[in-house]
Structure 1
Amino acid sequence: MKIKVLIADDNSFIREGMKIILTTYEEFDVVETVNDGLEAVDYCKNHDVDVALLDVRMPNMNGVEATKLLTEQTKTKPLIITTFDDDEYILDAIKNGAKGYLLKNNDPERIREAIKSVFNGNTVMQDVVLEKIKSNLTENKPESKINTSLFTDRELDIMAQIAKGLSNKEISKQLYISEGTIANYITSILGKTGLSHRTQIAIYFLTGRVNG
Protein backbone atom coordinates (compact mmCIF):
# COMPACT_ATOMS: atom_id res chain seq x y z
CA MET A 1 0.00 0.00 0.00
CA LYS A 2 1.43 3.34 -1.04
CA ILE A 3 1.62 6.38 1.23
CA LYS A 4 -0.75 9.03 -0.12
CA VAL A 5 0.98 12.42 -0.12
CA LEU A 6 -0.30 15.93 -0.76
CA ILE A 7 2.09 18.82 -1.52
CA ALA A 8 1.10 22.39 -0.66
CA ASP A 9 3.41 25.17 -1.84
CA ASP A 10 2.69 28.46 -3.59
CA ASN A 11 5.90 28.15 -5.62
CA SER A 12 4.96 26.00 -8.60
CA PHE A 13 8.60 25.19 -9.38
CA ILE A 14 9.19 23.78 -5.90
CA ARG A 15 5.79 22.11 -5.81
CA GLU A 16 6.21 20.28 -9.08
CA GLY A 17 9.87 19.54 -8.39
CA MET A 18 8.92 17.89 -5.12
CA LYS A 19 6.25 15.86 -6.90
CA ILE A 20 8.74 14.63 -9.50
CA ILE A 21 11.19 13.61 -6.78
CA LEU A 22 8.63 11.78 -4.67
CA THR A 23 7.10 9.92 -7.58
CA THR A 24 10.50 8.31 -8.23
CA TYR A 25 10.00 6.39 -4.96
CA GLU A 26 7.66 3.44 -5.30
CA GLU A 27 6.24 3.81 -1.76
CA PHE A 28 4.63 7.20 -2.48
CA ASP A 29 1.52 8.24 -4.36
CA VAL A 30 1.37 12.03 -4.80
CA VAL A 31 -2.41 12.41 -4.92
CA GLU A 32 -2.53 16.20 -5.30
CA THR A 33 -0.49 19.41 -5.41
CA VAL A 34 -2.06 22.69 -4.25
CA ASN A 35 -1.18 26.38 -3.96
CA ASP A 36 -2.08 27.15 -0.35
CA GLY A 37 -3.16 25.81 3.01
CA LEU A 38 -6.86 26.36 2.37
CA GLU A 39 -6.77 24.14 -0.71
CA ALA A 40 -4.79 21.56 1.26
CA VAL A 41 -7.38 21.42 4.05
CA ASP A 42 -10.31 21.27 1.61
CA TYR A 43 -8.72 18.41 -0.31
CA CYS A 44 -7.78 16.40 2.79
CA LYS A 45 -11.29 16.76 4.21
CA ASN A 46 -12.72 15.15 1.10
CA HIS A 47 -10.02 12.66 0.15
CA ASP A 48 -7.84 10.04 1.80
CA VAL A 49 -4.42 11.64 2.39
CA ASP A 50 -1.81 10.14 4.71
CA VAL A 51 0.78 12.93 4.87
CA ALA A 52 0.52 16.58 3.82
CA LEU A 53 3.77 18.41 3.02
CA LEU A 54 3.11 22.04 3.87
CA ASP A 55 5.11 25.15 3.12
CA VAL A 56 4.87 27.78 5.85
CA ARG A 57 4.33 31.02 3.96
CA MET A 58 1.41 30.63 1.56
CA PRO A 59 -1.46 32.94 0.53
CA ASN A 60 -5.02 32.54 1.85
CA MET A 61 -3.91 30.15 4.61
CA ASN A 62 -0.35 29.47 5.73
CA GLY A 63 1.07 26.09 6.65
CA VAL A 64 0.82 26.67 10.40
CA GLU A 65 -2.91 27.48 10.21
CA ALA A 66 -3.47 24.54 7.86
CA THR A 67 -1.67 22.25 10.30
CA LYS A 68 -4.17 23.12 13.04
CA LEU A 69 -7.20 22.43 10.86
CA LEU A 70 -5.76 19.22 9.43
CA THR A 71 -5.03 17.95 12.94
CA GLU A 72 -8.50 18.84 14.20
CA GLN A 73 -10.61 17.88 11.20
CA THR A 74 -8.81 15.11 9.31
CA LYS A 75 -6.61 12.05 9.80
CA THR A 76 -3.90 13.58 7.61
CA LYS A 77 -0.52 14.02 9.30
CA PRO A 78 1.02 17.46 8.62
CA LEU A 79 4.74 17.69 7.85
CA ILE A 80 6.15 21.21 7.50
CA ILE A 81 8.80 21.55 4.79
CA THR A 82 10.02 25.10 4.36
CA THR A 83 12.89 27.45 3.62
CA PHE A 84 12.00 29.46 6.71
CA ASP A 85 13.23 28.44 10.15
CA ASP A 86 11.71 31.34 12.10
CA ASP A 87 11.22 30.58 15.78
CA GLU A 88 7.59 31.69 15.81
CA TYR A 89 6.62 29.36 12.99
CA ILE A 90 8.43 26.39 14.50
CA LEU A 91 6.76 26.68 17.88
CA ASP A 92 3.32 27.44 16.44
CA ALA A 93 3.52 24.54 14.01
CA ILE A 94 4.44 22.13 16.80
CA LYS A 95 1.68 23.44 19.05
CA ASN A 96 -0.80 23.07 16.19
CA GLY A 97 0.05 19.39 15.79
CA ALA A 98 2.76 19.26 13.12
CA LYS A 99 4.34 15.80 13.01
CA GLY A 100 7.56 17.14 11.59
CA TYR A 101 9.47 20.25 10.60
CA LEU A 102 12.20 20.11 7.96
CA LEU A 103 13.97 22.62 5.75
CA LYS A 104 13.77 22.24 1.99
CA ASN A 105 17.54 22.14 1.59
CA ASN A 106 17.54 18.51 2.76
CA ASP A 107 18.47 15.88 0.21
CA PRO A 108 15.56 13.86 -1.23
CA GLU A 109 16.47 10.76 0.75
CA ARG A 110 16.14 12.66 4.07
CA ILE A 111 12.72 13.97 3.05
CA ARG A 112 11.71 10.48 1.94
CA GLU A 113 12.63 9.01 5.32
CA ALA A 114 10.86 11.85 7.13
CA ILE A 115 7.60 11.20 5.29
CA LYS A 116 7.81 7.48 6.04
CA SER A 117 8.60 8.16 9.69
CA VAL A 118 5.67 10.57 10.09
CA PHE A 119 3.36 8.10 8.34
CA ASN A 120 4.42 5.46 10.87
CA GLY A 121 3.43 7.71 13.78
CA ASN A 122 6.75 9.31 14.65
CA THR A 123 7.72 12.95 15.04
CA VAL A 124 10.55 14.29 12.89
CA MET A 125 12.43 17.43 13.88
CA GLN A 126 15.57 18.57 12.12
CA ASP A 127 18.52 19.52 14.32
CA VAL A 128 18.37 23.18 13.28
CA VAL A 129 14.74 23.25 14.39
CA LEU A 130 15.61 21.92 17.83
CA GLU A 131 18.39 24.51 18.03
CA LYS A 132 15.81 27.22 17.38
CA ILE A 133 13.60 25.85 20.13
CA LYS A 134 16.51 25.72 22.53
CA SER A 135 17.48 29.30 21.69
CA ASN A 136 14.18 30.39 23.21
CA LEU A 137 14.95 28.80 26.55
CA THR A 138 16.10 30.65 29.58
CA GLU A 139 19.74 30.26 30.48
CA ASN A 140 18.94 28.03 33.42
CA LYS A 141 15.88 25.84 33.51
CA PRO A 142 13.44 26.01 30.60
CA GLU A 143 9.87 26.95 31.39
CA SER A 144 7.76 23.84 31.02
CA LYS A 145 4.18 23.57 29.82
CA ILE A 146 3.58 20.08 31.20
CA ASN A 147 1.69 18.68 34.17
CA THR A 148 4.62 18.36 36.56
CA SER A 149 2.65 16.26 39.05
CA LEU A 150 3.06 13.26 36.78
CA PHE A 151 6.83 13.17 37.28
CA THR A 152 9.39 13.01 40.05
CA ASP A 153 11.70 15.97 40.63
CA ARG A 154 14.60 14.01 39.17
CA GLU A 155 12.61 13.13 36.05
CA LEU A 156 11.75 16.80 35.61
CA ASP A 157 15.42 17.72 35.97
CA ILE A 158 16.36 15.22 33.29
CA MET A 159 13.59 16.37 30.96
CA ALA A 160 14.77 19.95 31.34
CA GLN A 161 18.31 18.94 30.39
CA ILE A 162 17.05 16.95 27.39
CA ALA A 163 15.09 20.04 26.31
CA LYS A 164 18.37 21.97 26.37
CA GLY A 165 19.80 19.41 23.96
CA LEU A 166 22.19 17.70 26.37
CA SER A 167 23.28 14.10 25.84
CA ASN A 168 23.10 11.48 28.60
CA LYS A 169 26.82 11.95 29.17
CA GLU A 170 26.40 15.71 29.58
CA ILE A 171 23.39 15.26 31.83
CA SER A 172 25.44 12.83 33.93
CA LYS A 173 28.02 15.55 34.55
CA GLN A 174 25.34 18.15 35.31
CA LEU A 175 23.34 16.06 37.78
CA TYR A 176 26.11 13.85 39.16
CA ILE A 177 24.37 10.57 38.41
CA SER A 178 25.41 7.71 36.16
CA GLU A 179 24.42 7.42 32.51
CA GLY A 180 22.73 4.12 33.30
CA THR A 181 20.54 5.77 35.91
CA ILE A 182 19.65 8.51 33.44
CA ALA A 183 18.69 5.88 30.87
CA ASN A 184 16.38 4.29 33.46
CA TYR A 185 14.75 7.65 34.17
CA ILE A 186 14.26 8.27 30.44
CA THR A 187 12.61 4.85 30.11
CA SER A 188 10.27 5.82 32.94
CA ILE A 189 9.47 9.18 31.29
CA LEU A 190 8.74 7.48 27.97
CA GLY A 191 6.47 5.03 29.74
CA LYS A 192 4.49 7.76 31.49
CA THR A 193 4.06 9.88 28.36
CA GLY A 194 3.69 7.22 25.68
CA LEU A 195 6.47 8.90 23.71
CA SER A 196 9.13 6.93 21.87
CA HIS A 197 12.35 8.97 21.88
CA ARG A 198 14.18 11.89 23.48
CA THR A 199 13.36 14.38 20.73
CA GLN A 200 9.70 13.95 21.56
CA ILE A 201 10.51 14.41 25.25
CA ALA A 202 12.08 17.79 24.45
CA ILE A 203 9.08 18.89 22.40
CA TYR A 204 6.64 17.65 25.03
CA PHE A 205 8.51 19.41 27.85
CA LEU A 206 8.53 22.71 25.97
CA THR A 207 5.04 22.69 24.49
CA GLY A 208 3.04 20.42 26.79
CA ARG A 209 1.92 18.49 23.75
CA VAL A 210 2.32 14.76 23.25
CA ASN A 211 2.94 15.03 19.54
CA GLY A 212 3.85 11.87 17.78
Structure 2
Amino acid sequence: MSALMRVAIVDDDIFIRESLSMIIQIKEGFELAGTCANGFEAYELVQQQQVDVVLMDMRMPECDGAEGTRLVKEACPATKVIILTTFDDEQYLVQALRHGASGYLLKNSSPDRLLESIRSVMNGNVLMDSNMALKLTTLISQHPTPQEKPACIPWEHLSLTASERGIVEHIANGRTNREIAESLFLSEGTVKNYVTDILSKLALRDRTQLAIWYWKQQNQQQP
Protein backbone atom coordinates (compact mmCIF):
# COMPACT_ATOMS: atom_id res chain seq x y z
CA MET A 1 0.00 0.00 0.00
CA SER A 2 1.28 3.47 -0.85
CA ALA A 3 1.50 6.34 1.65
CA LEU A 4 -1.71 7.71 0.18
CA MET A 5 -4.83 5.55 0.09
CA ARG A 6 -5.96 5.63 -3.51
CA VAL A 7 -9.75 5.51 -3.75
CA ALA A 8 -11.98 4.99 -6.80
CA ILE A 9 -15.64 6.02 -6.77
CA VAL A 10 -18.16 4.02 -8.79
CA ASP A 11 -21.70 5.40 -9.11
CA ASP A 12 -23.97 6.22 -12.03
CA ASP A 13 -25.17 9.41 -10.29
CA ILE A 14 -22.76 12.23 -11.22
CA PHE A 15 -23.80 14.26 -8.17
CA ILE A 16 -22.78 11.41 -5.84
CA ARG A 17 -19.51 10.92 -7.72
CA GLU A 18 -18.64 14.59 -7.40
CA SER A 19 -19.67 14.78 -3.74
CA LEU A 20 -17.60 11.74 -2.77
CA SER A 21 -14.69 12.95 -4.88
CA MET A 22 -14.63 16.21 -2.98
CA ILE A 23 -14.57 14.38 0.37
CA ILE A 24 -11.65 12.21 -0.74
CA GLN A 25 -9.64 15.03 -2.28
CA ILE A 26 -9.74 17.40 0.68
CA LYS A 27 -8.67 14.86 3.30
CA GLU A 28 -5.01 14.25 4.07
CA GLY A 29 -3.87 10.69 3.45
CA PHE A 30 -6.33 10.03 0.63
CA GLU A 31 -6.03 10.37 -3.13
CA LEU A 32 -8.72 10.08 -5.79
CA ALA A 33 -7.76 7.32 -8.24
CA GLY A 34 -10.70 8.03 -10.53
CA THR A 35 -14.46 7.94 -10.93
CA CYS A 36 -16.59 5.46 -12.87
CA ALA A 37 -20.23 5.20 -13.86
CA ASN A 38 -20.55 1.41 -13.67
CA GLY A 39 -18.80 -1.75 -12.58
CA PHE A 40 -17.14 -2.47 -15.91
CA GLU A 41 -15.50 0.96 -15.92
CA ALA A 42 -14.16 0.15 -12.44
CA TYR A 43 -12.76 -3.12 -13.79
CA GLU A 44 -10.93 -1.20 -16.52
CA LEU A 45 -9.65 1.41 -14.06
CA VAL A 46 -8.07 -1.04 -11.61
CA GLN A 47 -6.15 -2.64 -14.49
CA GLN A 48 -4.73 0.72 -15.56
CA GLN A 49 -3.50 2.05 -12.22
CA GLN A 50 -3.16 1.27 -8.53
CA VAL A 51 -6.43 1.44 -6.61
CA ASP A 52 -6.45 0.54 -2.92
CA VAL A 53 -10.20 0.87 -2.27
CA VAL A 54 -13.23 0.98 -4.56
CA LEU A 55 -16.44 2.59 -3.30
CA MET A 56 -19.00 0.64 -5.32
CA ASP A 57 -22.64 1.56 -5.84
CA MET A 58 -25.06 -1.32 -6.31
CA ARG A 59 -27.69 -0.38 -8.86
CA MET A 60 -26.01 0.84 -12.04
CA PRO A 61 -26.73 0.36 -15.76
CA GLU A 62 -24.62 -1.93 -17.97
CA CYS A 63 -22.72 -3.49 -15.03
CA ASP A 64 -24.09 -3.39 -11.47
CA GLY A 65 -22.09 -3.37 -8.26
CA ALA A 66 -22.26 -7.12 -7.64
CA GLU A 67 -20.82 -7.96 -11.06
CA GLY A 68 -18.42 -5.02 -10.80
CA THR A 69 -17.11 -6.41 -7.51
CA ARG A 70 -16.53 -9.80 -9.12
CA LEU A 71 -14.61 -8.25 -12.01
CA VAL A 72 -12.50 -5.98 -9.79
CA LYS A 73 -11.57 -8.77 -7.37
CA GLU A 74 -10.67 -11.13 -10.21
CA ALA A 75 -8.46 -8.50 -11.84
CA CYS A 76 -6.89 -7.15 -8.61
CA PRO A 77 -7.49 -9.39 -5.58
CA ALA A 78 -5.64 -6.96 -3.27
CA THR A 79 -8.02 -4.10 -4.06
CA LYS A 80 -10.67 -3.66 -1.37
CA VAL A 81 -14.29 -3.07 -2.35
CA ILE A 82 -16.73 -1.24 -0.08
CA ILE A 83 -20.34 -1.44 -1.22
CA LEU A 84 -22.39 1.75 -1.01
CA THR A 85 -25.85 0.45 -0.23
CA THR A 86 -29.38 1.11 1.00
CA PHE A 87 -31.61 -1.19 2.99
CA ASP A 88 -33.37 -2.13 -0.26
CA ASP A 89 -30.24 -3.66 -1.80
CA GLU A 90 -29.97 -6.87 0.22
CA GLN A 91 -30.07 -9.35 -2.67
CA TYR A 92 -27.47 -7.37 -4.65
CA LEU A 93 -25.36 -7.08 -1.52
CA VAL A 94 -25.37 -10.82 -0.88
CA GLN A 95 -23.86 -11.37 -4.32
CA ALA A 96 -21.25 -8.65 -3.84
CA LEU A 97 -20.14 -10.13 -0.50
CA ARG A 98 -19.90 -13.55 -2.10
CA HIS A 99 -17.66 -12.05 -4.75
CA GLY A 100 -15.22 -10.70 -2.16
CA ALA A 101 -16.42 -7.26 -1.05
CA SER A 102 -14.94 -6.20 2.30
CA GLY A 103 -18.31 -5.06 3.60
CA TYR A 104 -20.75 -2.27 3.03
CA LEU A 105 -21.55 1.29 3.98
CA LEU A 106 -24.97 2.90 4.00
CA LYS A 107 -25.23 5.73 1.49
CA ASN A 108 -26.38 8.23 4.08
CA SER A 109 -23.23 7.77 6.19
CA SER A 110 -21.34 10.89 7.24
CA PRO A 111 -18.05 11.89 5.56
CA ASP A 112 -16.16 10.98 8.75
CA ARG A 113 -17.76 7.53 8.74
CA LEU A 114 -16.85 7.10 5.07
CA LEU A 115 -13.18 7.89 5.67
CA GLU A 116 -13.08 5.76 8.81
CA SER A 117 -14.49 2.85 6.80
CA ILE A 118 -11.82 3.19 4.12
CA ARG A 119 -9.09 3.14 6.75
CA SER A 120 -10.80 0.21 8.44
CA VAL A 121 -10.84 -2.12 5.43
CA MET A 122 -7.24 -1.20 4.62
CA ASN A 123 -6.37 -2.41 8.14
CA GLY A 124 -8.05 -5.74 7.49
CA ASN A 125 -11.46 -5.09 9.03
CA VAL A 126 -14.79 -6.33 7.72
CA LEU A 127 -17.56 -3.71 7.62
CA MET A 128 -20.57 -5.58 8.93
CA ASP A 129 -23.47 -4.00 10.81
CA SER A 130 -24.94 -6.70 13.04
CA ASN A 131 -28.61 -5.86 12.39
CA MET A 132 -28.27 -5.87 8.62
CA ALA A 133 -25.92 -8.87 8.75
CA LEU A 134 -28.65 -10.95 10.36
CA LYS A 135 -31.05 -9.84 7.63
CA LEU A 136 -28.53 -10.81 4.97
CA THR A 137 -27.79 -14.23 6.44
CA THR A 138 -31.47 -15.10 6.21
CA LEU A 139 -31.30 -14.43 2.47
CA ILE A 140 -28.10 -16.43 2.14
CA SER A 141 -29.69 -19.38 3.95
CA GLN A 142 -32.73 -19.23 1.67
CA HIS A 143 -30.68 -19.01 -1.53
CA PRO A 144 -27.34 -20.80 -1.06
CA THR A 145 -24.97 -21.11 -4.00
CA PRO A 146 -24.00 -24.64 -5.08
CA GLN A 147 -20.63 -24.19 -3.35
CA GLU A 148 -22.21 -23.26 -0.02
CA LYS A 149 -23.46 -25.63 2.62
CA PRO A 150 -27.29 -25.35 2.69
CA ALA A 151 -27.39 -25.10 6.46
CA CYS A 152 -25.08 -24.05 9.24
CA ILE A 153 -23.28 -26.76 11.16
CA PRO A 154 -23.63 -26.13 14.91
CA TRP A 155 -20.52 -24.96 16.73
CA GLU A 156 -20.29 -28.17 18.74
CA HIS A 157 -20.11 -30.28 15.55
CA LEU A 158 -17.11 -28.37 14.19
CA SER A 159 -13.47 -28.98 14.97
CA LEU A 160 -12.92 -25.39 16.14
CA THR A 161 -11.21 -24.92 19.47
CA ALA A 162 -12.45 -22.43 22.05
CA SER A 163 -9.63 -20.07 21.05
CA GLU A 164 -10.59 -20.31 17.39
CA ARG A 165 -14.23 -19.59 18.20
CA GLY A 166 -13.17 -16.49 20.09
CA ILE A 167 -11.14 -15.28 17.13
CA VAL A 168 -14.08 -15.86 14.77
CA GLU A 169 -16.24 -13.65 16.99
CA HIS A 170 -13.59 -10.93 16.99
CA ILE A 171 -13.37 -11.03 13.18
CA ALA A 172 -17.15 -10.90 12.81
CA ASN A 173 -17.13 -7.74 14.91
CA GLY A 174 -14.63 -6.10 12.57
CA ARG A 175 -11.39 -6.35 14.56
CA THR A 176 -8.02 -6.51 12.86
CA ASN A 177 -5.34 -9.11 13.59
CA ARG A 178 -3.46 -6.54 15.65
CA GLU A 179 -6.52 -5.70 17.75
CA ILE A 180 -7.27 -9.40 18.26
CA ALA A 181 -3.66 -10.05 19.25
CA GLU A 182 -3.72 -7.24 21.81
CA SER A 183 -7.03 -8.43 23.24
CA LEU A 184 -5.92 -12.07 23.57
CA PHE A 185 -2.26 -11.35 24.46
CA LEU A 186 -1.00 -13.15 21.36
CA SER A 187 1.39 -12.16 18.59
CA GLU A 188 -0.05 -10.98 15.26
CA GLY A 189 1.66 -13.92 13.59
CA THR A 190 -0.14 -16.35 15.89
CA VAL A 191 -3.49 -14.74 15.13
CA LYS A 192 -2.76 -14.87 11.41
CA ASN A 193 -2.03 -18.59 11.69
CA TYR A 194 -5.27 -19.09 13.61
CA VAL A 195 -7.24 -17.29 10.88
CA THR A 196 -5.63 -19.41 8.15
CA ASP A 197 -6.50 -22.62 10.03
CA ILE A 198 -10.08 -21.46 10.68
CA LEU A 199 -10.70 -20.61 7.02
CA SER A 200 -9.30 -23.99 6.01
CA LYS A 201 -11.47 -25.88 8.51
CA LEU A 202 -14.63 -24.07 7.41
CA ALA A 203 -13.75 -24.13 3.69
CA LEU A 204 -14.19 -20.36 3.47
CA ARG A 205 -12.31 -17.95 1.21
CA ASP A 206 -11.70 -14.89 3.37
CA ARG A 207 -12.59 -12.86 6.46
CA THR A 208 -15.76 -11.46 4.88
CA GLN A 209 -17.16 -14.94 4.28
CA LEU A 210 -16.12 -15.86 7.81
CA ALA A 211 -18.04 -12.89 9.24
CA ILE A 212 -21.14 -13.85 7.25
CA TRP A 213 -20.78 -17.45 8.43
CA TYR A 214 -20.63 -16.29 12.05
CA TRP A 215 -23.74 -14.13 11.77
CA LYS A 216 -25.54 -16.98 10.05
CA GLN A 217 -24.74 -19.11 13.09
CA GLN A 218 -26.11 -16.40 15.37
CA ASN A 219 -29.24 -16.10 13.24
CA GLN A 220 -29.98 -19.83 13.42
CA GLN A 221 -29.59 -19.77 17.19
CA GLN A 222 -32.34 -17.15 17.54
CA PRO A 223 -35.49 -18.62 19.14
TM-score normalised by structure 1 residue count: 0.69
Q: Percent identity?
A: 37
Of the candidates 24, 32, 35, which is equivalent to residue 34 of structure 2?
32
Give the secondary-structure state (helix, strand or coil) at the position aligned to 2:135.
helix
Task: Give the C-alpha shift of residue 78 in structure 1.
Answer: 1.0
* Count of residue pairs the alignment pairs up: 177
CA shift digits 1:170-210 (9 cap, x unpaired): xxxxxxxxxxxxx9xxx997573269xx9874413478xxx
Distance 1:199 1:31, change over 3 A: closer
Aligned to 1:68: 70
Matches within 5 A, 1:110-121: 110-121=113-124
Matches within 5 A, 1:44-123: 44-74=46-76, 75-123=78-126
1:54–1:81 CA contact under 8 A, matched in 2: yes
Aligned to 1:204: 213
Give the secondary-structure state (helix, strand or coil) at the position aligned to 2:33.
strand
Distance 1:72 1:46, change over 3 A: same
Task: Give the C-alpha shift of residue 36 in structure 1.
Answer: 0.8
Would you say 1:13 and 2:21 are equivalent positions?
Answer: no
> Structure 2 stretches of 5 or more lacking a match?
143-149, 173-183, 185-190, 217-223
Within 2, Cα distance between the matches of 1:119 and 1:54? Answer: 16
> Structure 1 stretches of 5 or more lacking a match?
166-182, 208-212
Within 2, Cα distance between the matches of 1:203 and 1:26? Answer: 33
2:69–2:101 CA contact under 8 A, matched in 1: yes
RMSD: 3.7
Matches within 5 A, 1:135-146: 135-136=138-139, 143-144=151-152
Please tell me the residue identity of whatever aligns with 1:143: A
Within 2, Cα distance between the matches of 1:31 and 1:152? Answer: 41
CA shift digits 1:132-178 (9 cap, x unpaired): 2244458xxx92389x986259899x79xx7xx9xxxxxxxxxxxxx
1:101–1:129 CA contact under 8 A, matched in 2: no
Task: Give the C-alpha shift of residue 23 in structure 1.
Answer: 1.8
Within 2, Cα distance between the matches of 1:145 and 1:72? Answer: 29
Distance 1:72 1:132, change over 3 A: same
1:143–1:206 CA contact under 8 A, matched in 2: no
Please tell me the residue identity of whatever aligns with 1:133: L
Within 1, Cα distance between the matches of 2:158 and 2:138? Answer: 26
CA shift digits 1:108-140 (9 cap, x unpaired): 1111111111122221123443132244458xx
